[in-house]
Amino acid sequence: MCPDTNADQSVPPLPPQPPPAFSPPVPPSFPRRRARSRGPLPFLALGCGGALLLALLIGGAVIGGLYAGSKVVDPVVDAFLQQVNDGRFGEAYAGLHPRFRETTPPEQFELFMRGVVDALGPYTSKSIRGINVNSANGVTTTVATYAMTFERGTATGTFTLTNGQIVRFDIDSPLVRSALECPHCGQTLDAFGNFCPHCGKPLTEAEETV
C-alpha cells in the first residue's frame, strides 16, 4: 500500500492580501511597443540578409570555382590540343602525367590522337561545361568537361588533371566512335590500334601495305 503522501502537505490558504497602498504607474506604452517590435523584425531582416548573402556566396563560389578551376586547367588542355593539332605527338605525350605514360605507350597514344584528328579534323575551340576540383593529401585532382569543336564536328572532352598534368582524357564524339569501327569485321574497338583485336586484321594503312 502506498502511503498517502499528499495528505499532510496541504498548504494553509494565504490570508487575503490587503490592496496595495500605492499602485505602480503603468509604464508609458510608447517605449514598450518599440521594445516589442524590436523583437522579431531584426531577426527577420538578419534572416533575409543572411540568406541573400549565403546565396551570393554559393553562386559566387560556383562561378568562381568554375572560373578559377578552368583558369588552371585551360592552359594545360590548350597547350596539349595545340601540340596535337601541330602533329607534335611526342611533345604532347611527354607533357602528360607519368601515370598516363606508365599505362599507355607513346605509339598507342599517337594512334589514338591520329584517329581523333582523322575523324574530327583539327581542333578549333572549346568551352567549359563543368569542373570538379578535389584536393586530398597534397594531391589536387581536377576533372574538366568541355564542349569541343573540331573542323568536322563536335565532341565532349573530359580531362582529368593531377597536380596540373593530364592524367586521363576522353574525347567522345559520334565521329570518333564510328572511326573506332573495324573496317574488316565492323566490331567497335576500345582504342585505336594497329590490328583489330577481334579479327586480327591490320587497321592502319601503313600496316596494310606491309
Binding site for Zn ion (CB under 5 A): 182, 184-185, 196, 198-199
* Closest CB 160 distance from Zn ion, rounded Å: 30
Query: Nearer Cβ to Zn ion, position 75 or 200?
Result: 200
Q: Angle between the 40-85 and 29-38 helix axes, to the nearest 10 degrees?
A: 30
* Closest CB 204 distance from Zn ion, rounded Å: 13
Q: CA distances (Å), 169 to each of 17, 108, 109, 159, 161, in order?
A: 90, 14, 11, 4, 9
Q: Pick the closest to residue 78 from 128, 135, 132, 153 (CA basis).
A: 128
Strand partners, 158: 145, 170
Query: Nearer Cβ to Zn ion, position 162 or 204?
Result: 204
Contact 177, 112 (CB under 8 A): no
Query: Nearer Cβ to Zn ion, position 143 or 179?
Result: 179
Query: Nearer Cβ to Zn ion, position 116 or 203?
Result: 203
* Closest CB 199 distance from Zn ion, rounded Å: 3
Please state the φ and ψ torsions of residue 67, each to the nearest 5 degrees.
-70, -50
Query: Nearer Cβ to Zn ion, position 69 or 115?
Result: 115
